[in-house]
A and B are shown apart, each in its own frame.
Chain A
C-alpha cells in the first residue's frame, strides 16, 4: 500500500512538470513580459523606462530559460522559468503582480472556501443519494418517470439562475438570510453560509440524482440482488444493505476526486455571495489580469486534482475488498 502510494506520487512528478511547462508557455511565450507590463501600465503612452521598472520590480527582467550572462549554475537558475515556474514545485508561489505574498493569501483564503464547499459537498451527496434511492425504489412507476423528467428539467437550468433566483427569493423577498457576505464566527457564519450551501446543493440536484439512479438501477439488475430477494429480504433491506453498498464504487469515482479541490472553492458561488475564499481570489485575479495569481492557482489546482486521483484509488480498497493496490 505504502509502496503503491509512493509510486503514484512519483508518477505525479512528470505530470506536474507538464502542467508547469504548459502554464509557463501560456504566460511567458504567448505574451512576453513586455506585453504584460504594457497591459498593466496602460497600452498607450507608456515609456520604456516604466516597462523596465515594472519588470524589474517583479523579477520579470531575467531571460526566459537560459541566462548567458550569469556565472556557472546561475545560468539556469537566474531565469524567469526557474524563479517563477519551477519554484511552484516547493509551493513557493512568489508575489502577485500587486506585490502581495500569494502563499500567505492562499493559506488565509482557503478556509472560507472550505467552509462553503465542504458542507455543500456533504449535504449534496446525502441529498442526491437519498433522492436517487427513492427513484430506484419506485422504479418503473409514475413517480420514477416524473422524477427523471424533473431531473432533466432541473439540469437544463444554468447554475447562474439558481444563484440569482435563490438570492432573490430567499434574501430579497423573504428576508430569511443576508444576501451575501461572510463571517467566521458561530451563528453569523451559519446565517451567511446557509444560502450558498443550499443553492450549491440544489443546482446540481438534477444531474447527480439522475446519474446515481442509473448506478442503482445497474446494480439492481444483478444476480446477487435476485439472490437477496429470493432469500426473502425486504425491498428496503435489499436496497440499503446490498445495492447501496455496491453502487458506492461508481459513486466514489466521481466524488472522491473532487475532495481536495474543495479547498479551491467555487468561482461562481464565492463571487456571487461575496465569500473571501480562493474562488473569488481567482476571479479577482482574472479581472485585474494578475498573471502570477492565476499561474499559482492553475498549478495548485493540478496538484490537488492529482491528490484526488490517488485518494480515489485508495478509497476503492475501502469499499471493494477485491481491489488490491500493488
Chain B
C-alpha cells in the first residue's frame, strides 16, 4: 500500500460521534415526536442557513480527521509525518512557505531588507515574495491581476452554482411541473423548507471557496505568519480543533451526566446523596482553575514520559483529548442537575408507575421510559454548549492551558497575535482570520441552537 492509515484518538472518537449522530438521525426519522420538532427547525430560514455553514465546517473537520502516512520513495518505510486528507488537498498552500510575515495579497515582503543587486549596489527595499504574486512582472500590477482573477473565479462559481440549482430544481419539482414554473416557485420562496435561503447560502459559500481557492494559487489570501506559513491554511486546520473541542467534550460527558442524573432522580435516597455530593464538589471548583490544575499535571506527566508518545501529532492529540475530558468533567454537572430534576418529576408519572407495577426492572424503566423523555433536554444542552466550548478553547489556549502550542487552533492564533499587534506596521491578518473563522462558526452554531431549542423545549411550544 502506498499509504498507511493512522488512527488518532480523537479521530476514532469523531467517527464514533458521527455514527451516533447518524444513528440518532435514523431513530428520529422513525419517531413522530422527534420528527415534528426537526421539521420545525427545517422551516426556519436562519436555522437552515446556519446549518449550511455548519455543514461546511463539519466537512472540513472530517476531511482533516482522516490521517495517514505516506510511503517513502525507497518503498520500505513510511514517512514519519502524519498527514490528513485536508493537508493533501491544501498541499499547494502548505508548500508555498515564505520567510516571514506578508500582508494579504501582497507581492512584496512585510519589512524592508537590504538587497544586493548584480552590479554590486545595495539598496533597502521591500523584496519580492517567493510565492505570493510571483507570476507578476511588476508588483504594482497586483490589483489589476487580482480583479481579473476575482472576475473569472466568480463567473465559474456562479456557473457551477447555477448548474447545481438547476439540478436541485429538477429533483425537487413536483411531478409534471414545468421547469420555469418550478424555478419561479423556488425564487418566490414558495416551499415549506426554505430552499431559497439554503441555495443562496450555498451560492455564497461556493463563491467564497472558488475565489479563495483560485487566488491562493497565486497569492496568500490571508497573508502569512511569522514563519511564513499561509494564514488561510492555519485557519482551515484550526477548524478541526474547534469542532473537536465543541463536540467531543459533550460526547465524553454525556454518558455520565445522563446516567447519574437519571439515577439520582429515580432512585433517590443514598444514591441521590452520593451523586449530588459528587457534582456539587466538582462544580464548586471554578472551571478555569480545575482545567489549569489538570493540564499542568498532564504537562508534567508528558514531560517526564516522552516515550509514551511516538510523534508530535500524537502528543498534541493526547493533550487535545485530555482537554476535552477535563472540560467534560467541569461541564457535566449542570446537565446532571437538570436531568435529576426531570427524573424526579418523571418517576411519579403514570406510565412509570404502571411499568413498575408490571414488574419492569429498574434498568428497563430508566432506559425505556425515563431516557426517551429527557432526550429533548439532552439535545438542547448539547447544541447550546457547543458555541460556548468553541469560545472557551480560545480563552484556555490564551491562558496557556488549552491545546498544545504546536497544534493549529484559533486560540493559538489569537495568542500569537498579541505580539503581532504591537509591531509597526501592525500585523493584523492572523487575528482577523481567526476572528472571521471563529465568528462564522459560533454565530451559525448559536442561530442553529436557538432554532433547536425553540422547537424542542416544551415550555416554549405554543
A residues sitting closer than 8 Å to B (CB atoms) are 14-15, 18-19, 22-23, 26-27, 30-31, 35-36, 38-39, 43, 152-153, 155-161, 164, 168, 261, 264, 267-268, 271, 282-283, 286-287, 289, 291, 294-295, 297-298, 301-302, 305-306, 309
A-B contact pairs, 10 of them (CB 8 A): A15-B281, A22-B282, A31-B300, A35-B300, A158-B435, A267-B288, A289-B299, A298-B289, A305-B286, A309-B284
- 8 pairs of A and B residues whose beta carbons are closest in the complex: A18-B281, A301-B286, A156-B443, A156-B442, A30-B297, A31-B300, A302-B284, A298-B289
Contacts of A18 in B (CB 8 A): 277-278, 281
A30 to B298 Cα, complex, angstroms: 8
A294 touches B293 (CB 8 A): yes
Contacts of A156 in B (CB 8 A): 387, 439, 442-443, 446
Task: Tell me the nearest residue of chain B to A309, going by C-beta.
Answer: B284
Task: Quote the shortest CB–CB distance from A20 to chain B (angstroms).
Answer: 10
Contacts of B400 in A (CB 8 A): 283, 286-287
A54 to B381 Cα, complex, angstroms: 47
Choose among A15, A164, A283, A301 the residue that contacts B431 (Cβ–Cβ < 8 A): A164
Instruction: Confirm or deny: B275 has a beta carbon within 8 angstroms of a beta carbon on chain A.
Output: no
B297 touches A26 (CB 8 A): yes
Contacts of A153 in B (CB 8 A): 443
Chain B's interface: helix, strand, loop or mixed, by majority? helix
A267 to B298 Cα, complex, angstroms: 21
Chain A's interface: helix, strand, loop or mixed, by majority? helix
Instruction: Confirm or deny: B395 has a beta carbon within 8 angstroms of a beta carbon on chain A.
Output: yes
B280 touches A298 (CB 8 A): no
A-contacting 9-mer, from B5-13, B112-120, B414-422: B414-422
Choose among A19, A43, A155, A159 the residue that contacts B281 (Cβ–Cβ < 8 A): A19
A168 touches B301 (CB 8 A): no
A322 to B301 Cα, complex, angstroms: 53
A168 to B420 Cα, complex, angstroms: 12
A59 to B281 Cα, complex, angstroms: 28
Choose among A152, A168, A298 the residue that contacts B421 (Cβ–Cβ < 8 A): A168
Contacts of A282 in B (CB 8 A): 289, 292
Choose among A36, A289, A294 the residue that contacts B289 (Cβ–Cβ < 8 A): A294
Given A18-B278, A298-B290; 10 other pairs, CB 8 A cutoff: A19-B284, A26-B293, A30-B297, A39-B304, A158-B395, A164-B418, A164-B421, A268-B398, A286-B292, A289-B299
A160 to B439 Cα, complex, angstroms: 12
Contacts of B300 in A (CB 8 A): 30-31, 35-36, 39, 289
Contacts of A36 in B (CB 8 A): 300
Instruction: Confirm or deny: B303 has a beta carbon within 8 angstroms of a beta carbon on chain A.
Output: yes
Contact A160/B395 with A283-B400, A287-B400 known, Cβ cut-off 8 Å: yes
A152 touches B446 (CB 8 A): yes
Contacts of B450 in A (CB 8 A): 152
